[in-house]
Structure 1
Amino acid sequence: MPKIVNHKERKIKIAESTWNVIVREGLENASVRKIALEAGLSVGSLRHYFPSQSDLFLFSMELVSDRVQKRIENTEYNGQPIEIIQQALSEVLPIDEERSIEMEVWLIFSAKTLVDQKLEELSQKVFIQMKTGIERVIHSMEQLQLLRSTINKEMEVLRLHALIDGLAMHHILYPKVLTKEEMVHTLTYHLQSLCVEDT
């Protein structure tokens, strides 16, 4: 009886193998042959699922985005409102091994978006989704009467977005200089600076 192959699981395995090769050897060395070897497949089998390197990179990048979104949707957060907001925003910070790999891969792929239209379109889509999520955070803080009345909400969305991206990138590049604990502390400090004094 022939073995039944779960094609979705195999595509995910190939994408995860792509992440591993990229993190270990860099994007420029992530050849189809190396990725196939990492996934335990032949080059022909890999090309059956991803005819081009662009297709493979696009799916791998989409998988990063999907994993982050599902984690946010499926995690039950506990604590005071500001703590819950901090925990949710930390889903896109490299605070553990899983999220570190996701962020490192995403940053590496981001350079590729300059020359690959499909990746650029996905990157822009995720950027807008992130911005929309932060807009909801600021709106929720206002609804919960946490936000200071003098806050410029539009500017704070841009600033919080830039802060999160900067923290993630700086930790990936300089993990010994900006630690995981400092990332979370900086985010919490910033959120508290937006709140009324008795929060």
Structure 2
Amino acid sequence: MPKIIDERARREAIAEAVWAIASRDGLDGATVRAVAAECGLSTGAIQHSFPSQATLQQFAMELIVERVTERLAETGTTDPHPAPCDESATANHNTLALVSNHRNPAAISVAEARAVLDETVTAMLLQLLPLDKERETEARVWAAFSTAALTNPDLAPYARKMDALLATFCRRCVESLISGMPADDLAAGNSRSAKSAPTSRAGDPAAIAAHLHALLDGLALHLLVNPDAAHRRQATALIRSFVASLT
């Protein structure tokens, strides 16, 4: 019987090979020959899935957008574990204990509920920063594609799509922090008594969301240039400080 090939899976594997090369050598190094060698396929197999290098780059960039969209959707509708940071294991354990009661608001006080919300949003935001090897590789790949998109009109739409995605995510996080409601509850259109919502010193939500977006972009670039532990701790502290400023 002829071998059945999952074309979507093969296209994704090829795109991931492009990512690996772009992370190490830049996007210019991701030639068809280099990609074929990276993923163990012939150049003919690569060209069967992608007629040109341009279509390969477009799919690779589109797949990054898809993966990030999926990850943000997951962290926006579940209770994520806090990202690694400088706090003690005991503090993290206590936060997780509060998060475990997130779906049972009656079990925790208003102050505890706010602590859960702040920690959850902080963890979601830290997922967008290169604070570990996996996220550093992803950020390096995206930086390579974004740079190429400045002069490649075929890649520019994907860069704009990612930018719009992050802008929406930042807006939801800010609205959540200002209202005191989890982001998934906001998305579902739920509401709660204004008396139970903590007060906030926040200003214009749109301006604050734009500030957050710029902060994330700047920190991501800073961490790519300076990926040592001290700078990662500083970036984590800055995100925590931003979240706390909206309480």
Whether TM-score is above 0.5 comes out as yes
How far the C-alpha of 1:166 sits from its partner, in A, is: 0.7
| Residue aligning to 1:48 | 48
How many aligned positions are there?
195
Paired residues of 1:23 and 1:101 also in contact (CA < 8 A): yes
8 A contact 1:14–1:35 mirrored in 2: yes
- The match for 1:29 is 29
Q: Distance in 2 between matches of 1:125 and 1:93?
A: 18
1:147 Cα deviation from its structure 2 partner: 6.2
Tell me which of 170, 180, 183 is aligned to 2:232.
Answer: 180
State the TM-score, normalizing by the size of structure 2: 0.74
In structure 1, runs of 5+ residues without a counterpart are none
Q: Select 1:164's aligned residue among 216, 221, 226.
A: 216
Equivalent position amino acid for 1:77 in 2: D
Structure 1 runs (4+) deviating above 4 angstroms are none
Structure 2 equivalent of residue 61 of structure 1: 61
Superposed CA RMSD in Å reads 1.7
C-alpha separation between the residues in 2 aligned to 1:184 and 1:59? Answer: 32
2:178 aligned residue (122, 142, 150): 142
1:189 and 1:132 map into 2 onto residues whose CA distance is 21
Q: Percent identity?
A: 33
**Please, what TM-score do these two structures have when normalized by structure 1?**
0.90
Render the CA deviation track for 1:98-131: whole Å, top value 9, x for unaligned.
2211111001111111122221011111111211
Structure 2: stretches of 5+ with no match in the other structure = 81-98, 100-115, 181-196
Distance 1:89 1:116, change over 3 A: same
Structure whose alpha-carbon radius of gyration is higher: 2
Partner of 2:15: 15
Name the SS for the 1:51 alignment partner: coil
Alpha-carbon offset, residue 141 of structure 1? 1.6
**Partner Cα separation in structure 2 for residue 156 and residue 74 of structure 1:** 23
- Does the CA contact (< 8 Å) of 2:14 and 2:39 recur in 1? yes
Residue 77 of structure 1 is matched in structure 2 by 79
| Structure 1 residues 5 and 137, CA gap change in structure 2 (3 angstroms) | same
In the superposition, relative to structure 1, how do residues 28 and 130 fare at CA in structure 2: closer, same or farther (>3 Å)? same
C-alpha displacement of 1:152: 2.3
